[in-house]
Structure 1
């Protein structure tokens, strides 16, 4: 028969609760087991405190002591609580921050006096038109032809709207980062802003194209004498660097180390100002670097209010886990994609419209004809001059680091000979959509402010479009233009993005405007030289420089040699789709 024996009991002769402090049981000796005497009213700790609002250990320990008896662990009757002076060895603290825990309060909230309530803003979805840029800029395979803008936006009040979501919206990268890509370098913008390199005047190699005179009557346009923006069928090419036959000829002669276009170069030089994502494809062939834009990338469109505190947003994609979620069928005309397409359409047609094609004055032909305009084209070529210039990026006389840039000008002013680089003009346009919509950036009504308070309008545009204006200015300086014309284009009706009017045109010198924008060309050249040195340390191959969509960081990836290559069948299908879209 099994026997039963009582366990050994340690009696506390002092009358306390638990074993005496002077006689620790044998099984706990020399076992590194913490022990502290405690009284019956003491709490040994807790793993969840639903009444404590503190989020740190000190306040939790303090509240624990306060529940025992007040300051210094004394009871209300003034006597010392047993064990209160020792460390809380048995108290449990979670290793992570407990501030994320919250208690759901299901009690009804008392209504406000007066029966008032706050109402959120209403979401609106309106149709976005498809701009056919048949006569506009063309890249390697159609450029920006027949692009659609899409998305639906929300506009909320201070309460109950989507203001809470402003700082939490995330953008998608301009290119899908494949798992086969290897990240080589990462540079923060604050490091780029400290770079500096002084560059001398460039060397002019060759010039191509034909320029028409700028129509000076647009300098006298006001809000009371506005002119409609016309759709002009003209052909203008903007191929990427590797597809430029002139750059290929110059590379065969080894006139430089780096080959690039002014559009891509201006993005690199103004990278610290950029907010939206972008990517540049870099090919190293021998000792040469070729910077290319990607087909379907962000270089063929114009951003709108990129630097605004609350820039225009595209709608969030539908939730795949919620198939019943309603998505607006008709996209809004004020989303980031729709506004970018609209701004591109405005810029192209404003440049085509503001030149005089019928003599006098006579057009000016450069030394060589347009290298991209072929005899099979049915629409006339736009006024455009291509100037190939070489800048020396060497720090010492022994260094041979030169960059060949294809620059563009849009017209000439009639003051000086364009063939000698005098009187060259670049033409750009700012656009106004709806001052009351989300993403307007606090813009004033141009029709009421542009003539009387132009300075306020310009200051707002310089704040909301800092990156875009900086890139335009850098492109003008690189091309050697003496004047930059900026048109102010507004919608004829804020709810219609297909009809526009010219309200005014401003004229400025690019170098002076760069000072107003606080654009440092020396800093831009320092950025370009740093990226060049970084790529020249890599072996031959293909690389991609990517601007992070949500952080001020650029990253360099090594990618397989066949990345972004398009087969002949896909290219033919691409051209057929563009042709059908233009019709």
Structure 2
């Protein structure tokens, strides 16, 4: 049988018929012409969820630029120019099943340095050249060719094997939260009235005058200038135990303040110890409390017996503050409580040792010490002067508000230029062990105090910001001309009983305040705000407590008998012990 040719079949067809589908001249969609296939069209996946992404990125933060994996994924119909343009009501190209929130950080394939994606499940595999993640909350970052851990929870290790992977320490944001105890137990019958955040306190401001002296009591010895000379290492001065009678009576128990209140000399009454804590409260970390007593139109800022205000803190503001024994501190002498006792002991003895005790050469105030009773005291009086000063906190002339504060001075010395007497406050910084936990990166005082005193003082300003601010405020309130700062260190870092004096530095209080960025007007604003809160309340007793773990102050309304029963129990226990 001869072969059949295709041309013969075609020629046998009728003239009006052609090969293939019939050609229609009709249009569809009300006149819209039919767009034919294009020779350049290539069919890829039927449904490609990653083909288009918002702002040129897919939902996982990957790049949508031309690369080998994207080369053959052409959009259907791309080879033919659009014959018409239709404005759709809703742009479906922005739709994505995956979270497509923009990442403001520059990322490498979704796992860049400092970038990354938040996952809820297993860790994802990093790209070939990706850096390890930085280890943030629910942030998984693969190492170079490595794989992020199987962690959908808090993972602070970062990527394994990556160049950027690192292990964070206490200086980073993942530092464990300290759980300190409050300075006073908040009882159920206490009613919380106000809660004040430190951010609000730092914005307060009130300008006041320099203050005026009302009266002065006590006496001052002259300061021993030989302590200003840097001691030789072989002849370091030892800190001696000097038993002298010093008093820190609370406001409402002060007989002089009681007399001034009866004369209606002011509205607010306080001591410099209590007032400085309130004025520097935004710098505080540890918990403390102030008892506020309102009687009529008078407000007394008091402290309770055994208050933490009487203690001198150590490295309170350090990034790695000393650990409590309950937090795993195995070195008991370097716990916060033990360091506070040691620092308080050092300050008392240092102020008494650095003066020249002479009955013929001393500065007498207008009146004798109001707290000293020779018939009961066995120790001689310490060099201490009490100046009662008044400050104007009025906002206008119609409602005058004045504050009387009892301030303290520690010594006096002659001005080398004109021979005038200069009033001093004498304080001491202490070094326990610059290698121990809680030292706050302090330098070795024995080797650096002479050559790098500025660096030593700057480190102390950082680690003891609250303590130094309080001392500076107390010096300014008292009108002191000079503030003497001693540097006292342990003779042996493992023993907290013996100490040596390494040097003394002198500062003008207001200049030192500027160096610390300390604003007295902000402190006065805090005082006036707290007092106004109490003046709006009815008469009674209130307690202001610093939260032990948050930068917050809380004002409580407490019964009038609060703390009095505890004081009576302490007196009874003391009498029983004496009888035994």
Q: Does structure 2 retain, via aligned residues, the 8 Å contact 1:196–1:522?
A: yes
Instruction: Give the structure 2 partner of residue 541 of structure 1.
Output: 540
| Superposition deviation, residue 552 in structure 1 | 1.1
| Superposition deviation, residue 304 in structure 1 | 0.5
| Superposition deviation, residue 161 in structure 1 | 9.4
Matching of residue 454 in structure 1 with residue 449 in structure 2: no
Instruction: Name which of 316, 323, 334 aligns with 2:326.
Output: 316
Task: Map 1:475-494; keep pairs closer than 5 Å.
Answer: 475-494=474-493
Instruction: Give the structure 1 partner of residue 214 of structure 2.
Output: 205
CA deviations on 1:244-303 (whole Å, 9 max, x unpaired) are 111111111111101100001001111111111111110111100011112122111001
- TM-score when normalising by structure 2: 0.69
Instruction: Give the structure 1 partner of residue 268 of structure 2.
Output: 258
CA deviations on 1:421-460 (whole Å, 9 max, x unpaired) are 9511100000001111111000010000001111111111
Counterpart-to-counterpart distance in 2, 1:371 and 1:486: 27
| Superposition deviation, residue 379 in structure 1 | 0.6
Q: Does structure 1 retain, via aligned residues, the 8 Å contact 2:288–2:546?
A: yes
Counterpart-to-counterpart distance in 1, 2:505 and 2:175: 33
Instruction: Give the structure 2 partner of residue 387 of structure 1.
Output: 387
Q: Does structure 2 retain, via aligned residues, the 8 Å contact 1:207–1:387?
A: yes
Q: Does structure 1 retain, via aligned residues, the 8 Å contact 2:312–2:344?
A: yes
Where 2:404 maps in the other structure, the secondary structure is strand
CA deviations on 1:227-254 (whole Å, 9 max, x unpaired) are 0000011110001111111111111111
In 2 relative to 1, CA 565–101 (structure 1 residues): closer, same or farther, beyond 3 Å? farther
Instruction: Give the structure 2 partner of residue 179 of structure 1.
Output: 188
Counterpart-to-counterpart distance in 2, 1:163 and 1:579: 50
Matching of residue 271 in structure 1 with residue 281 in structure 2: yes
Counterpart-to-counterpart distance in 2, 1:217 and 1:455: 21
Q: Which runs of 5+ in 2 are unaligned?
A: 1-58, 61-72, 74-91, 93-117, 124-165
Instruction: Give the structure 2 partner of residue 518 of structure 1.
Output: 517
| Superposition deviation, residue 372 in structure 1 | 0.7
Task: Map 1:234-313; keep pairs closer than 5 Å.
Answer: 234-313=244-323
| Superposition deviation, residue 571 in structure 1 | 3.7
| Superposition deviation, residue 315 in structure 1 | 2.1
Counterpart-to-counterpart distance in 1, 2:495 and 2:122: 48
Q: Does structure 2 retain, via aligned residues, the 8 Å contact 1:223–1:447?
A: no
| Superposition deviation, residue 548 in structure 1 | 1.1
Q: Does structure 2 retain, via aligned residues, the 8 Å contact 1:221–1:227?
A: no
Q: Say which is worse superposed, 453-462 or 223-232, in terms of deviation.
A: 223-232
Matching of residue 502 in structure 1 with residue 501 in structure 2: yes
Q: Which runs of 5+ in 1 are unaligned?
A: 1-57, 60-70, 72-84, 86-97, 104-157, 318-326
| Superposition deviation, residue 169 in structure 1 | 1.9
Instruction: Give the structure 2 partner of residue 120 of structure 1.
Output: none
In 2 relative to 1, CA 197–179 (structure 1 residues): closer, same or farther, beyond 3 Å? same
Q: Does structure 1 retain, via aligned residues, the 8 Å contact 2:425–2:482?
A: yes
In 2 relative to 1, CA 574–506 (structure 1 residues): closer, same or farther, beyond 3 Å? farther
Specify the structure having the higher radius of gyration (Cα): 2
Instruction: Give the structure 2 partner of residue 438 of structure 1.
Output: 437
In 2 relative to 1, CA 161–275 (structure 1 residues): closer, same or farther, beyond 3 Å? closer
| Superposition deviation, residue 167 in structure 1 | 2.7
Instruction: Give the structure 2 partner of residue 346 of structure 1.
Output: 346
CA deviations on 1:112-140 (whole Å, 9 max, x unpaired) are xxxxxxxxxxxxxxxxxxxxxxxxxxxxx
| Superposition deviation, residue 531 in structure 1 | 0.8
In 2 relative to 1, CA 525–577 (structure 1 residues): closer, same or farther, beyond 3 Å? farther
Where 1:237 maps in the other structure, the secondary structure is coil
Counterpart-to-counterpart distance in 2, 1:314 and 1:100: 36
Higher relative contact order (CA 8 A, sep 6+): 1
Where 2:214 maps in the other structure, the secondary structure is strand
| Superposition deviation, residue 223 in structure 1 | 5.2
Task: Map 1:110-259; keep pairs closer than 5 Å.
Answer: 166-222=175-231, 224=233, 225-259=235-269
Q: Does structure 2 retain, via aligned residues, the 8 Å contact 1:302–1:340?
A: yes
| Superposition deviation, residue 555 in structure 1 | 1.1
| Superposition deviation, residue 367 in structure 1 | 1.3
| Superposition deviation, residue 546 in structure 1 | 0.9
Counterpart-to-counterpart distance in 2, 1:259 and 1:307: 29
Q: Does structure 2 retain, via aligned residues, the 8 Å contact 1:223–1:450?
A: no
Q: Does structure 1 retain, via aligned residues, the 8 Å contact 2:305–2:567?
A: no
| Superposition deviation, residue 187 in structure 1 | 1.3
Where 1:348 maps in the other structure, the secondary structure is helix
Matching of residue 528 in structure 1 with residue 523 in structure 2: no
Instruction: Give the structure 1 partner of residue 86 of structure 2.
Output: none
In 2 relative to 1, CA 277–537 (structure 1 residues): closer, same or farther, beyond 3 Å? same
Counterpart-to-counterpart distance in 2, 1:350 and 1:339: 16
Matching of residue 335 in structure 1 with residue 339 in structure 2: no
Where 2:427 maps in the other structure, the secondary structure is strand
Task: Map 1:416-431; keep pairs closer than 5 Å.
Answer: 422-431=421-430
Counterpart-to-counterpart distance in 2, 1:241 and 1:545: 16
Q: Does structure 2 retain, via aligned residues, the 8 Å contact 1:213–1:412?
A: yes
In 2 relative to 1, CA 434–579 (structure 1 residues): closer, same or farther, beyond 3 Å? farther
The number of residues matched between the two structures is: 439
| Superposition deviation, residue 506 in structure 1 | 0.3
CA deviations on 1:352-407 (whole Å, 9 max, x unpaired) are 101111356x1122111111111210110100000111101002122210111000
RMSD: 3.6
Counterpart-to-counterpart distance in 1, 2:209 and 2:217: 23
| Superposition deviation, residue 579 in structure 1 | 7.0
In 2 relative to 1, CA 177–101 (structure 1 residues): closer, same or farther, beyond 3 Å? farther
Task: Map 1:455-474; keep pairs closer than 5 Å.
Answer: 455-474=454-473
Q: Does structure 2 retain, via aligned residues, the 8 Å contact 1:425–1:484?
A: yes
Counterpart-to-counterpart distance in 1, 2:577 and 2:549: 32
Task: Map 1:19-34; keep pairs closer than 5 Å.
Answer: none
Instruction: Give the structure 2 partner of residue 557 of structure 1.
Output: 556
In 2 relative to 1, CA 179–223 (structure 1 residues): closer, same or farther, beyond 3 Å? farther
Counterpart-to-counterpart distance in 2, 1:199 and 1:392: 6
| Superposition deviation, residue 476 in structure 1 | 0.3
Where 2:326 maps in the other structure, the secondary structure is coil
Counterpart-to-counterpart distance in 2, 1:339 and 1:578: 28
